[in-house]
Chain A
Amino acid sequence: MSLLKRLLMLTKPGGAKKPVNQSNVYSNTIGAIFLVQEGRYAKNAGQIYLWDIRSDATGYYANRT
């Protein structure tokens, strides 16, 4: 899916929409929708934020020793 098509989808009235083939959608308690598997997420209706995961990636770990 092109970035333009994705933007159009995300800006449809009613808020962010789940893109095709997007299985890992995660909603937090205040409505932000994270589309991290594809490296981007969109926020609430009327506000669009796109991040490339390479600049916004996060993670966790445990001490092994």
Chain B
Amino acid sequence: MSIELVVSERDPPSVIMDIVNLPDPVYLGFTTRSHNYDDVGLYFRITGTGTGYTFSTVDLGLIASGGSLTRNLDNFCYRARPASETSEQIQLILRAYTDSGYTNLKWTYTKTLDVLFIKSDDGTWTTDILNNFDDGTVQTWSWVNESQPGQGTFGVSTDFVLSSPYSLRGYWYSVTGSEIYGYIQKSITTPNKPTVYAIVDIRVTPDSADIYNRGLRFQQDGTVLLALGLWTDAFADAYPRAKWIRVIIPLPGNTSITFRIRFYWRASTTYRNAKAWIDDFRVISK
């Protein structure tokens, strides 16, 4: 094996998504990491295949020998929204070429992913927590600015919502540094069930084009369960801005945890503000 693709592999099925209130078709995005174990630099291209799916083909460019590349693939594939719970497989196909024209293929690496679409309102699931913030409170969520403690605001908001009238908005800024770190979190005792999922609908965006979405982490206490983007310094978005996305995170049952959503932004300007919204946060189980 001289190339490799790393995707989310926490606990098969690899991809879990709730279809309730998703648009049709369903678009999936991935943050993947590609490794080049060959002795020479190679040009990488990624695509995929799956029954009923349409995949993009993305040229990742040159990866040096021994190097790796993390890349977010927004709108990487889509399929018609299933009508009910559906379990299936897709294949992500990573190819490495010796030339920048992507004609001389040297390696192919295929990763099969189990995909599970659930339908959280089909009567088989219990909604253990629903935080829609529509009572005008933060519903036990809290907020921290790690880069500059106390700089920013936190509370319900009406500017971007999924269910009216309120969402929850965190607002972070830094007056001295060009890197902004922060998180929101909530203490949860999960139900004593075999399957527990947190469903997070989230929108993250900096306040200007000179500030960039870098890393987004979903954590159980200090442990990263799922991550989008890159926790490294660069002047480019590493996951989509100004877009509501849905992430589902499996949680352990019958456990008291702090569920944390952590952010990292990088600014190339002295104006360093960024916001994140969540709405209709749920914990479901069965």
Whether B29 and A63, one on each chain, are in contact in the complex, defined by CB atoms closer than 8 angstroms, is yes
Whether B8 and A58, one on each chain, are in contact in the complex, defined by CB atoms closer than 8 angstroms, is yes
Interface size class on chain A is: 20 to 34
As a 0/1 sequence over residues 197 to 209 of chain B, the CB contacts with chain A under 8 angstroms (1 = contact) are: 0000100000000
Give chain A residues whose Cβ lies under 8 Å from the Cβ of B111: 28
| B264 → chain A closest CB, angstroms | 11
Would A60 and B201 be within 8 Å (CB), given that A29-B112, A32-B4, A37-B10 are in contact?
A: no
Whether A30 and B1, one on each chain, are in contact in the complex, defined by CB atoms closer than 8 angstroms, is yes
Whether B226 and A59, one on each chain, are in contact in the complex, defined by CB atoms closer than 8 angstroms, is yes
| Among A36, A44, A57, A62, contact of B245 (Cβ-Cβ < 8 Å) | A62
Whether B162 and A64, one on each chain, are in contact in the complex, defined by CB atoms closer than 8 angstroms, is yes
Residue of A whose beta carbon sits closest to that of B247: A61
| Among B11, B29, B75, B243, contact of A60 (Cβ-Cβ < 8 Å) | B29
Whether B11 and A61, one on each chain, are in contact in the complex, defined by CB atoms closer than 8 angstroms, is no
| Among A36, A37, A54, A62, contact of B231 (Cβ-Cβ < 8 Å) | A54
Query: Is A21 close to B, CB under 8 A?
Result: no
As a 0/1 sequence over residues 1 to 16 of chain B, the CB contacts with chain A under 8 angstroms (1 = contact) are: 1001011111110010
Query: Is B60 close to A, CB under 8 A?
Result: no
Give chain A residues whose Cβ lies under 8 Å from the Cβ of B244: 63-65
As a 0/1 sequence over residues 218 to 248 of chain B, the CB contacts with chain A under 8 angstroms (1 = contact) are: 1000011011100100000000000111110
Whether A60 and B1, one on each chain, are in contact in the complex, defined by CB atoms closer than 8 angstroms, is no
Query: Is B26 close to A, CB under 8 A?
Result: yes
Residue of A whose beta carbon sits closest to that of B216: A59
Residue of A whose beta carbon sits closest to that of B75: A63
Give chain B residues whose Cβ lies under 8 Å from the Cβ of A37: 10-11
Whether B245 and A26, one on each chain, are in contact in the complex, defined by CB atoms closer than 8 angstroms, is no
Query: Is A53 close to B, CB under 8 A?
Result: yes
As a 0/1 sequence over residues 18 to 53 of chain A, the CB contacts with chain B under 8 angstroms (1 = contact) are: 000000101011101010110100001000000001
Query: Is B217 close to A, CB under 8 A?
Result: yes
Give chain B residues whose Cβ lies under 8 Å from the Cβ of A55: 231
Whether B30 and A59, one on each chain, are in contact in the complex, defined by CB atoms closer than 8 angstroms, is yes
| Among B9, B32, B226, B246, contact of A64 (Cβ-Cβ < 8 Å) | B246
Residue of A whose beta carbon sits closest to that of B111: A28
Shortest beta-carbon contacts, A-B, top 6: A57-B227, A64-B244, A59-B226, A63-B27, A61-B245, A65-B244
A-B contact pairs, 23 of them (CB 8 A): A24-B10, A29-B110, A36-B10, A39-B224, A54-B231, A56-B70, A58-B7, A58-B8, A58-B9, A58-B70, A59-B218, A59-B226, A60-B8, A60-B15, A60-B28, A60-B31, A61-B29, A62-B245, A63-B26, A63-B243, A63-B245, A63-B246, A64-B23
B interface residues with partner A (beta carbon < 8 Å): 1, 4, 6-12, 15, 17, 21-23, 26-33, 70, 75, 110-112, 162, 201, 217-218, 223-224, 226-228, 231, 243-247
